[in-house]
Amino acid sequence: MSLARISRIVALIVVLVVALVPGLPEMVGVVVALAGLWVGYHVSAENRGLLFLVAIALATGVAEALSGIPAIGMYLTDILSTYGDLVAAAAVTVAVMIAYERLMESG
């Protein structure tokens, strides 16, 4: 199993714990952000566009669409919102990597 796959699995576990365990301190958001930054480093060049698409979709409120489902809607919304935070941090890493790659190839 590759480091990229292990990183994605650990990041998803972090998202689930943060989204579903009540009463966690606000600082767990930093853990989600750091996990996202780490995962973003392992995104392949072929998947970068898809990552940006998912980040945009989750940032525009797609997660809120599930809140109307009785009994589980609020949990699904929390999971997708937290996942959106993770993906946004990963997108930051990918954007920085793209900028770095472009700077290095033009020199």
- What does each of the 107 residues of the chain score in pLDDT, given as a tens digit? 899 999 999 999 999 999 999 999 989 999 999 999 999 999 999 999 999 999 999 999 888 888 889 999 999 999 999 999 999 999 999 999 999 999 998 65
Residue 83 identity (one-letter amino acid): Y
The pLDDT assigned to 26 comes to 87
pLDDT at residue 77 in the model? 93
Task: Give the per-residue pLDDT at 38.
Answer: 96
End-to-end CA distance of the chain, in Å?
36
**Cβ atoms of residues 18 and 32 within 8 Å:** yes
Assess contact for 39 and 73: CB atoms under 8 A: no
